[in-house]
Amino acid sequence: MRAVVQRAARAAVSVDGKITGEIVGGLCILLGVGTGDGPDDAEWLADKIVNLRMFEDDDGKMNRSLLETGGGALVVSQFTLYGDCRRGRRPSFTGAAGAEEGKRLYEHFVERVRRRGVETACGVFQTHMLVEIVNDGPVTLILDTPRAEQDAKKEWDNREPKHKRHEV
């Protein structure tokens, strides 16, 4: 799983002109589900995000977590986080999970965040959405689950060079 996490003063998502989820203060989480992801990945990522120290303490240092601040989370599904742009001009999305599996794990992730006591709002899975984020700081972090990070490293290490060098 992959997440782009932004500290937000405000964030909202709308579908067909209607707001489906909104927070004032907290985190906006753009969530991508990859092929091979499972419930353990959702559990790990939810725990990591709600405990990540992205908020300032009284000394202005990022020492407080979402749980400590009592902020909300807006979770928006975004399969394009698995867009591979290394070849050609059109992204390949073969690394993204299929719709059924993606939705199941997206919902599992949302439930795990809620179980940790975070008020959580959502977008609508597999729908065209408009997302408004007032990024506070700005503070933006990109997180991969350990398995996703290992898979990306293997893929990178095993890639074939586009042009082979010619010895002179």
User: Model confidence over 12-70: pLDDT tens digits?
Assistant: 999 999 999 999 999 999 999 999 999 999 999 999 999 999 999 999 999 999 999 99
**What is the pTM for the complete model shown?**
0.88
Spatial neighbors of 4 by CB under 8 A, at least 6 apart, are 29, 30, 78, 81, 140, 141, 142
List pLDDT tens digits, range 104-121. Answer: 999 999 999 999 999 999
Catalytic residue numbers, as ranges: 78-80
Domain 2-156: give its CATH architecture: 3-Layer(bba) Sandwich (3.50)
DSSP element (H, E) containing 22: strand 18-32
Phi, psi of 153 (to 5 degrees): -65, -45
